Structure 1
């Protein structure tokens, strides 16, 4: 089933629709910015930056505290998932050693950091995007903010993309006057078309010729235009619904911050008593406060006196509530509370049990990332052909993630050693916690074995020569 929006755009490009492409791109941007998904993404980003609904807390009473206490809970949870799955280098391997070597050369530290950022962005926004481009003949990738990409899916399951719109605001100078220009790009398999508005408060998009051309191919090599066989973008979803982690624990975060803030208000105001005065001998309240502050005493008439009203708070009950709230957040976020006092003394089996929810959640994300690598393979293979490294379009590669689970590496290495004769050396090396590049490690092992053979052979030759010389010396003596 083709997305209606994609169909309309295809008809526009073919000249079979009354609307111009820039008009429908403009409408799509307006609709996306007004959508619930866009609002959720923006709000999730604010929570990640430690700005929750507690900022709306207000107090109209003067001289009273109004604490807005934020806790970077979402940041901790999002980073924990990204670090658990992607902090350790993942292994890229192929049965074709030439292909494996080319891939490992391509997956340098820069691209690995961007893949980690991509996974993190999916948890934070629900869906994250990365786009290929050529820089001086070298293939590179750029992370696109989720709030700047409108995917136009070509199937109802939202697994294939027929085109996408990217839009962003750019500050430019018109003479001495600064203005903000909205730029938009429409990408499909035929290339890219660029639009912009006038930056004077108008919303109408027109063709953008600032870069010299309005329409061009995906990339250029030696001045020649080329297009990929697919829309030049890849994506990863945190879940099928494309909802961020924040969506599921928002209320818990708000309540945690709110209760902490209200408790802080009470504790800050505990010294601000409400005085009940009977038969005060002074003339007004200002004189009462002055006598109390300066002389620590006040004048009263007859049976007069002063009582005070003081807020009473059960701090233990509040702390117990906040502790439960915290445990609920980690529970429903499928995360691990590292402040759990029992975690440090837990056995290996108990630790695995504590990490089970996090491991399952990250395994699902890893499965989505595997699909992302399949999407990116098109771009890899084109680059390898352009760079003269070979045609690998029919080859396959595997990505093995090394989750950062607290484990005993000695046990893993022992299990790998015990698997000798059962599984191949390549598989054992791919699962070894110290190996990053399987082919490089196998080549190093081969080189060390060759050196050992040469050294052993040389030693035997030296021993034989020594023995011959000794016999000769004895014979001479005789």
Structure 2
């Protein structure tokens, strides 16, 4: 990729990406409970009678995102390509970090509308989650909407202490890298030689181009839903309303403890003298020297408690409805039956199902990339997804007991709430049966011997 072409592409795609970064940063702030309520600026003349300025953010967005992530990926998807040894090899390549990567993907997709996995060859197949703010996809104009190229942009500090903006341009064949100093214009963009490439003649050289053999752009999108929308947008206004109402309520409670005195006919010289007399003698003299009558009254703040409580309840309910989550209020659970719990999870399941449809295509592309790299024949990838939710174990165990003789023993064991691995449980049952048979066999032998004697 030549320098001038890259400059044109950067001019075309960077402006729109800056708006995307701004939206993602807002969602990430709310995920970390750094809501807008903490950044509102009040003028000194806005509320002259108020002193309290508590700003209490509510982390509803973080709770809803973590709910979805745990619900979908506490038990991450399992893959089957039709060959046991191939499945084991794929599992080894995915590694122990696979569960954590799934969770990070879900969080990134919830905050940005899309999560990204980048894979590369570094003495073996490597993959990891990339910050969504770093990725600028370039899609084809066809109906398939395929990824034809991709920018990865980030900042880097060199050995001289200068900060550069780095642009990696990835295609289905190679990666070209360019950079410019922070603050410089695009005309100062230069090639960035960051790859060590082995060469027979020079025994190694440094260049800005890295060639790969994946045959596709090594970036995989995992969209949050069909509209590629984040989870904050539908509920941000509700969260801001809740923060303002709750913080305002706390401020009123704090301000109500401060009494505002209204004085008339006070013969003292200063307000500090008035406060001193009030504190020391519990009385003050109000009549002035000319005989005019004086008076003392106070101003207090009335708090509409019931209206505030109703407002907070309505807003909280709307947040979980619009955010398609589960309100963890204990009164929503109780001793709920399995049917009631399924209904409680209905909105979360709807949101998770929309994300799963998008994630399935991303995981299939990842598994096929692993298979192509490893030389594994892979036509179909079967995915098994498991949800993690609260369940009524007593009810499930009772159903399992009543199903004996109606369905297979393995199906009962797989569905039993106490069983995590059906294969191991079947082995334990077989071992216990063998031990029981041995005991019964020994007992029968002793009985026969006694009868013969």
TM-score by length of 1: 0.79
Per-residue deviation, 1:392: 1.9
1:46 to 22, 29, 37: 29
Query: In the superposition, relative to structure 1, how do residues 354 and 384 fare at CA in structure 2: closer, same or farther (>3 Å)?
Result: same
Q: Do residues 196 (structure 1) and 179 (structure 2) align?
A: yes
Task: Give matches, 1:372-411, under 5 Å.
Answer: 372-385=362-375, 391-394=376-379, 396-409=380-393
Per-residue deviation, 1:42: 1.6
**Who is 2:219 aligned against?**
233
2:44 to 49, 54, 60: 60
Query: In the superposition, relative to structure 1, how do residues 46 and 28 fare at CA in structure 2: closer, same or farther (>3 Å)?
Result: farther
Q: Is the 8 A contact 1:22 1:207 kept in 2?
A: no
SS at match of 1:300: coil
Q: Do residues 26 (structure 1) and 13 (structure 2) align?
A: no
Measure the CA separation in 1 of the matches of 2:432 and 2:400: 25
Q: Which moved more, 1:193-202 or 1:363-372?
A: 193-202
TM-score by length of 2: 0.83
Task: Give matches, 1:16-165, under 5 Å.
Answer: 20-28=4-12, 30-35=14-19, 37-54=20-37, 55-61=39-45, 64-137=51-124, 139-155=125-141, 159-165=145-151
Per-residue deviation, 1:412: 5.1
**Who is 1:5 aligned against?**
none
1:258 to 244, 259, 278: 244
Measure the CA separation in 2 of the matches of 1:339 and 1:48: 20
What CA RMSD, in Å, does the superposition of the two structures yield over aligned residues? Answer: 3.5
Residues matched between the structures, number? 432
After superposition, what is the alpha-carbon deviation per residue over 1:414-457, rounded to whole angstroms, capped at 9, x for unaligned?
767849886896x888767677778xx38x95798699779979
1:206 to 182, 190, 193: 190
Query: In the superposition, relative to structure 1, how do residues 403 and 192 fare at CA in structure 2: closer, same or farther (>3 Å)?
Result: same
Q: Do residues 296 (structure 1) and 282 (structure 2) align?
A: yes
Give structure 1 regions of 4+ aligned residues with deviation exceeding 6 angstroms: 413-417, 419-424, 427-438, 450-464
Per-residue deviation, 1:142: 1.3
Measure the CA separation in 1 of the matches of 2:62 and 2:336: 26
2:296 to 289, 300, 306: 306
SS at match of 1:291: helix
Q: Is the 8 A contact 2:336 2:392 kept in 1?
A: no
**Who is 2:210 aligned against?**
216
Unaligned runs of 5+ in 2: 196-205
Unaligned runs of 5+ in 1: 1-12, 219-226, 386-390
SS at match of 1:242: coil
Measure the CA separation in 1 of the matches of 2:260 and 2:395: 65
Per-residue deviation, 1:47: 1.1
**Who is 2:346 aligned against?**
356
Query: In the superposition, relative to structure 1, how do residues 49 and 158 fare at CA in structure 2: closer, same or farther (>3 Å)?
Result: farther
Q: Which moved more, 1:22-31 or 1:254-263?
A: 22-31
Measure the CA separation in 2 of the matches of 1:431 and 1:105: 27
**Who is 1:321 aligned against?**
311
**Who is 1:3 aligned against?**
none
Per-residue deviation, 1:155: 4.2
